[in-house]
C-alpha cells in the first residue's frame, strides 16, 4: 500500500435513512441550497476509523484520499471507491455528500470506502486522478482488507 497515512476517529451518528432523505432533498425541512453541505447537527458514526492518504504523484500533486473502515472488523469487507459530486469540476472531500456519506456507508453497510479528492482544475486532471485512485484501490485491496473486486460510485462525478 504505497500511500502516506494519518489517522483519526469519529463519534456517534443518526441512522442511514434520515441522513439519505436529507441528502436527497426529500426532507421538507431541508433547504435545496444546503444539498451539498454537511447536515447541521450531524454527528459522525463512532464505529468508523478514518485514514487520510495521499496517493503518490506522477509529476503532479498527490491525490488526496480518505479511507473509511468499520472499527473492530477483522474480516475482509466489500470495498467502494467514492467520487464526490461536482462533475469533476468542483467540490471536495469535505462536501456533505462526500465525507458524511462515506462515514455513514462504512458504518451502516459495513464496507471499506475510499473517497477520492480528485483535482478540480480540469476534467482531464480529474479523470487522471480518478484512474490513479482506481488503480491504487484495486491493487491495494488485499492490504486494505477488501474482499473481491471493489465497486466505484459517487454523486455527479460518480
- Rounded to whole angstroms, the Cα distance separating 76 from 147 reads 5
Least confident of 48-52, 108-112, 122-126, 145-149: 122-126
The full set of domains in the chain, from first to last, is 4-31+44-154 (3.40.50.1820)
- Rounded to whole angstroms, the Cα distance separating 145 from 42 reads 28
Gyration radius of the chain over CA positions: 15
Work out the angle between the directed axes of helices 16-23 and 99-109 (0-180°, nearest 10): 150
pLDDT at 154: 86
pLDDT at 124: 86
Place of cell 442511514: 16
Residue 2 has pLDDT above 70, yes or no: no
- Rounded to whole angstroms, the Cα distance separating 22 from 123 reads 29
Going by C-alpha positions, the residue among 88, 94, 78 that lies closest to residue 36 is 94
For residue 69, the surrounding DSSP H or E stretch is strand 63-70
pLDDT at 69: 96
More confident residue, 40 or 73: 73
Q: In percent, how much of the chain has pLDDT > 90?
A: 41
Answer positive or negative: Cα dihedral of 72, 77, 83, 85: negative
Contact 153, 133 (CB under 8 A): no
Place of cell 484501490: 137
87 confidence band (pLDDT: 50, 70, 90): confident
Going by C-alpha positions, the residue among 49, 94, 41, 42 that lies closest to residue 68 is 49
Residue 60 has pLDDT above 90, yes or no: no
Amino acid at each position: 500500500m504505497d500511500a502516506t497515512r494519518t489517522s483519526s476517529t469519529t463519534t456517534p451518528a443518526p441512522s442511514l435513512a434520515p441522513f439519505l432523505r436529507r441528502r436527497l432533498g426529500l426532507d421538507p425541512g431541508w433547504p435545496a441550497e444546503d444539498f451539498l453541505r454537511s447536515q447541521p447537527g450531524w454527528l459522525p458514526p463512532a464505529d468508523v476509523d478514518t485514514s487520510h492518504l495521499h496517493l503518490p504523484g506522477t509529476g503532479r500533486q498527490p491525490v488526496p484520499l480518505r479511507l473509511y473502515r468499520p472499527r473492530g472488523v477483522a474480516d475482509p469487507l466489500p470495498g467502494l471507491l467514492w467520487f464526490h459530486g461536482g462533475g469533476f469540476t468542483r467540490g471536495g472531500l469535505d462536501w456533505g455528500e462526500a465525507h458524511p456519506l462515506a462515514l455513514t456507508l462504512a458504518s451502516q453497510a459495513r464496507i471499506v470506502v475510499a473517497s477520492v479528492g480528485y483535482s478540480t482544475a480540469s476534467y482531464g486532471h480529474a479523470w487522471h486522478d480518478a484512474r490513479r485512485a482506481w488503480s491504487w484501490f484495486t491493487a491495494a485491496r488485499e492490504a486494505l482488507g477488501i474482499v473481491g473486486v471493489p465497486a466505484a460510485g459517487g454523486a455527479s462525478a460518480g
